[in-house]
Structure 1
Amino acid sequence: MDVAQLVKDALGVEVGETTVRTGGQLSTVHEVQTDADPVIVKVYAPEWRWKQAKEVHVYGMLEPEVGGSIPRVLHVGDGVTILTKLDGVPLSELAPPDWRTTYTQVGELLRRVHQIPQPEYGYLTDQILDPLPDNDQYMRRQFAKKLHEFEQLGGDLTLHAKITGYVDRQANLFADNTAPTLCHNDFHEGNILVDPVTWQVNGFIDVENAIAADPLVDVAKTIAYSVRDNAEKLAGLTAGYGLLPADRIALYRLYHSLELWDWFASIGETTHLAGIARDMAELVES
């Protein structure tokens, strides 16, 4: 595919250098220089066209609330999406002088995402798949699915039993949420772009994991993947987002760890399995 010619034809601009960018597991991602601003071109294989439709749909929902903090969709074609390029460097590649201030911005931005209501709970494509009407049913289904995968993939049965018991004891917390929202579901430092001069959080990318769920599911994943035990990051996130109920956050952190263990095991990546299992054991014994 001649990506440069595609951009020229679709946008009516003159094009320059085209480079292939990293990070496109489900699509080939190109950056194309134009006589205006650079653009991002994502080319999807036929089996992943549904991911293309999802990305366009989710960015469309986000635009009224966080426009300017996300890429803008410029063109949608047959397996090809052209987006504006969001300026900034992934936060994962930087060391801000003040983590609390940076994470206050992260919390504020995530809170704005969670202002976008959803009609039911479930996985998003360009609609909600297998929707459920309440958080209790949804999270029980999700834990049951991930626990089954854990067992099938050879997870420790003693740990499986401990997780099952912990979830049974804490499941009443699911009902504390009664209003599903749009959740990015991958709001970690690799997807958050920051200006390394001003330390302003410019926005975020990669909406391919988006779900309709309890917004604290989203917050818990940010904590599990990026905040970890960093007190300054957590203080900033809380300042920007609002108070976070520790019990529900812990329950959702367990879910994300279980999901990650299952994912690594399913692709044969064993390096991190023991560490994730230790994290889960600490969570259920705390």
Structure 2
Amino acid sequence: MAPTRRITFELDTETVLRLVQQLEPDLVIKGFSRLEGGSTEVYKIDLADSGYESLVLKIYADKPEWLPKKEPLVAGYLRDLTVPVPTWLRVDESRSLLPLRYSLVTHVPGRSLRHWMSEPDIKQAYRQMGELLRHIHAIPMPAYGYLYGHGIDKPVLANEDYMTAAFEDVFRRFRDLSGDSDLARRLQQVAKGSFDLLSASDGPVLAHDDFHQGNVLAFRGKADRLELSGLVDFGNARAADRLFDLAKALFCSAHEDPRSYQPVLEGYGSVDHPDAERALWLYTLFHRVSMWCWLTKIGVGAEAEDGPGGLIRDLREMVA
């Protein structure tokens, strides 16, 4: 997963107070602390005598420039989800109070599911993950394409057109970054053998495209039961075939914990598709190549068994 981008300045209480008083001049802070995980700097701000109780400060790097506007857009799509998502209260790109852009959002209770993976009832939480993903996929989108702050960028009406272009792009990037034209050719050849399935999509839906234990929150609820309590981090979201996103969720979640694969799939439920298993295989191939390209681009060593090295091994097995 992505390393968190560290800010290069010290965040102090006086600055945080000025930030929250942009919302309400009378707000008083009790303290603030950095939250775990995420690809941006994220802080929890505890308030005194306020209806908010706590807020979250998200500080964005200069790139990607569209992220501060994209996340509140996607959160709006998810406002009726079965678990809470943050509400964006303020997006400030002026750099007048901080040298970087930031957002203030409502705090969602719970800790990332990574914190709970050693618990005896974790598999039940994984089934809840599958159920939650199915609810996300009940949100229809008007076309296929990547989401930016203004909506779908370069919308495409047919899944086969969208994914054929996406496969061509990811194989080109793989060839350029790896220099292994033979493996790239074999991957492309085996993928094309299942391209007939791309037309079987039942329409574009909202895809989180980064659905794993790090972005799902949970707490101990009634009867001490582990329950999902929130969903965060919408920077990767797009409009896609539901199986595209299910494959990414299974791939990323199983990377965190191999035990998650089957319960997430069970929680998601049956899929009306002529060959769902082969479609998941095809989309998994895409996600593995894409992940290899991304990890390699950000400088993760090819020898890392859980990084590019392990992904190359898996890709070779897929074309064996």
**What SS does the corresponding residue of 2:103 show, helix, strand or coil?**
strand
Distance 1:47 1:273, change over 3 A: closer
Is it true that 1:84 corresponds to 2:106 in the alignment? Answer: yes
Aligned CA RMSD, in angstroms, stands at: 2.2
Distance 1:103 1:154, change over 3 A: same
TM-score by length of 2: 0.82
Give the number of aligned pairs.
283
CA contact (8 A) 1:180 1:215 kept: yes
Distance 1:6 1:265, change over 3 A: same
Partners of 1:238 and 1:53 in 2: how far apart? 32
Match of 2:142 among 88, 109, 119: 119
> 1:57: Cα distance to partner?
0.4
- The amino acid that maps onto 2:144 is Y
Match of 1:13 among 11, 24, 27: 27
User: What are the Cα deviations for residues 66-123 of structure 1, in whole angstroms up to 9, with x where unaligned?
Assistant: 4x42112223333332111111121123223134311211011111111111111111
User: Percent sequence identity over matched residues?
Assistant: 31
**What SS does the corresponding residue of 2:30 show, helix, strand or coil?**
strand
User: What are the Cα deviations for residues 187-217 of structure 1, in whole angstroms up to 9, with x where unaligned?
Assistant: 0111111115531111211000001000111
Instruction: Specify the alignment match of 2:4 in structure 1.
Output: none
Deviates further, 57-66 or 185-194: 57-66
Instruction: Specify the alignment match of 1:40 in structure 2.
Output: 56
> 1:46: Cα distance to partner?
5.0
**What SS does the corresponding residue of 1:209 show, helix, strand or coil?**
coil
Is it true that 1:128 corresponds to 2:152 in the alignment? Answer: yes
Instruction: Specify the alignment match of 2:96 in structure 1.
Output: none
CA contact (8 A) 1:4 1:32 kept: no
Instruction: Specify the alignment match of 1:278 in structure 2.
Output: 313
Instruction: Specify the alignment match of 1:72 in structure 2.
Output: 87
Distance 1:238 1:20, change over 3 A: closer
**What SS does the corresponding residue of 2:66 show, helix, strand or coil?**
helix
Distance 1:255 1:169, change over 3 A: same
Match of 1:240 among 264, 267, 278: 267
Distance 1:231 1:259, change over 3 A: closer
TM-score by length of 1: 0.91
Greater per-residue helix proportion? 1
> 1:158: Cα distance to partner?
2.5
Is it true that 1:269 corresponds to 2:304 in the alignment? Answer: no
Q: Which consecutive unaligned segments of at least 5 residues does structure 1 have?
A: none
CA contact (8 A) 1:149 1:262 kept: yes
